[in-house]
Amino acid sequence: MYDLGECMSSTFTVRISKELKEKMQKLPIKWSEEIRGFIESKIKQLELAKKIESIKVKAEKRKVKIDSTILIREDRER
- Residues 8-65: pLDDT tens digits? 889 999 999 999 999 999 999 999 999 999 999 999 999 999 999 999 999 888 877 7
- At residue 4, what is the residue type? L
For the chain, which residues make up each domain, given as ranges? 30-78
Which pTM value belongs to this model? Answer: 0.65
Report the pLDDT value the prediction gives residue 5, as an integer from 0 to 100.
58
Taking the CA of residue 16 as centre, how many other CA atoms within 13 Å lie in the half-sphere pointing to its CB?
A: 12
For 16, residues 6+ apart whose C-beta sits below 8 A from its C-beta are 24
